Amino acid sequence: MDSTIKDFIMTHELFSYHDHHITFAEFEKKRASYSHKAFLGYAGSDLVTAAGPRSSGYINDDARLEALWPSIRTTGYGRAVVSGCKELFGIEYTPMNFARITEILQATIADKSAAEVYDYFIKEKANIRWVVQDGLFRPENEEALQTNLYPNYYKFAVRMDDLFAIADNGPLEILERFTNIAILSLERLITALNTTINMFRDTGRMGAFKIGIAYKRDLIVSDPTRNETEQAFNRIRDRKAFYNGSQQNTAAVNQHEARALSDYMLHRLLERADDENIPVQVHTGYLAGNWCSLAGSKALFLIPLFEKYRRVRFDIFHGSWPWTSELGAIAKNYPNVYPDLCWAWAMNPTETERTLSEWLDGVPFNKIFAFGADTGLPWLDVGYAIQARHGIARVMQKKVQDGIFSKSTAEEVASAIMLKNGEQFYGLV
């Protein structure tokens, strides 16, 4: 097996299509508190799973962490922690090293500004050239337009999930404060939506729209009439009216009754994406945390949108795991669908290798996106990036070994899915 292919991939830059990194300001606020627990990331969810159904929730004390860690160190989440710690500090992530890990982490960040910390872990250690951040560009975020809170190699995804899963007046009040538009009619709501987009676009740092509604509702999007939508809007806006003995502002309206408004406004967002060629990221498949229902999160449910908005470029997240083969078939059939393995390498590395190999057999490789750490702290990207690179390398080596790819083709494909496809998709070349 040609080790030079692995060497090429292990040193190649990455495009991170999805991260939730906190701001410089939030990092500074919490700087002194970062310890060995700050390496866990998504492994915290596996700890809850390992603890069983009578656990009290998130595992935050060292005694329970020490007891449960051996059971999760072999999962994708756990292995990312081990890989990152070993790469950065040269030691194993084990209970006997917890104090030492905290000490080295604090020493590593002590003499660096927040910006320098990000550059050190993201650029130098994880070798990531570009990041699309999800979290800043939300109208409910007071810092939403302060793009100086991140490095200049970050782009930002606009996200308004509360509006697309609306059940009360809250999302409208958020848009009113953000835009200074009194939303007294459906038409004014559409104006507020477009004004919000304009405000983010005018920063020069907007990268995409992000649809994360799978955490709140299913991905089945109807195409309601204007009349149906206005009825739902009026029901929500008429806050003091009584419905079956309850006022609207005490949750008399639910998502089902308001669904026409949610879906109608989502169509308006996609129209804007079509008008200005703005990429649309969509969360599909597995959901972060525990006790989450996956029933409505299949990428398959989005086909009516792919059909209707044929010029819109859809970046479909997380491989739609566990329905990765379905997403591969969809991406093969729909020129506007780009399958994305962000976060997937951490969720299930073996399944993600199989998925990448399968996709490469069915989908043009210029459509495939290979990586996104989907983490909140910059050092976590190191372990997730290592995990992805190892998986990509094994897939490429196997293709060469089986005579499917030449060495040069394997390197060409790897370079595309790891970096070049993203740069072209987001207009960064």
Q: Extract the runs of DSSP E, i.e. beta strands, from 201-358.
A: 206-211, 242-243, 246-247, 280-282, 314-316, 337-339
pLDDT above 70: residue 202: yes
Of the candidates 353, 295, 358, the residue with the CA atom closest to the CA atom of residue 325 = 358
What is residue 239's predicted lDDT score, i.e. its pLDDT? 65
Fold of 3-31+113-425: TIM Barrel (3.20.20)
pLDDT above 80: residue 41: yes
What is residue 247's predicted lDDT score, i.e. its pLDDT? 65
What is residue 56's predicted lDDT score, i.e. its pLDDT? 75
pLDDT above 70: residue 2: no
Is residue 251 very low, low, confident or very high in pLDDT (cuts 50, 70, 90)? Answer: low
Percent of the chain past pLDDT 70, that is, above it, reads: 96
pLDDT above 90: residue 257: no
pLDDT above 90: residue 396: yes
What is residue 277's predicted lDDT score, i.e. its pLDDT? 98
Is residue 58 very low, low, confident or very high in pLDDT (cuts 50, 70, 90)? Answer: confident
* CA-only gyration radius of the chain, Å: 22
Picking from 202-211, 219-228, 230-239, 257-266, which range would have the lowest pLDDT averaged per residue? 230-239
Is residue 59 very low, low, confident or very high in pLDDT (cuts 50, 70, 90)? Answer: confident
* Residue 378 and residue 20 in contact, taking contact as beta carbons nearer than 8 Å: no
| 116-149 tens-digit pLDDT | 999 999 999 999 999 999 999 999 999 999 999 9
Percent of the chain past pLDDT 90, that is, above it, reads: 90
| 272-327 tens-digit pLDDT | 999 999 999 999 999 999 999 999 999 999 999 999 999 999 999 999 999 999 99
What is residue 44's predicted lDDT score, i.e. its pLDDT? 94
Q: Determine the 3-state secondary structure of 384 from DSSP.
A: helix
Is residue 9 very low, low, confident or very high in pLDDT (cuts 50, 70, 90)? Answer: very high
Q: What residue segments make up the domains of the chain, in order of their start? A: 3-31+113-425
pLDDT above 80: residue 245: no
| 331-346 tens-digit pLDDT | 999 999 999 999 999 9
- AA identity, residue 233: F
Side-chain half-sphere CA neighbours of 351 within 13 A? 16
Query: What does the alpha-carbon distance between residue 211 and residue 312 come to, in Å, rounded to a whole number?
Result: 14
Question: pLDDT averaged over the chain?
Answer: 95
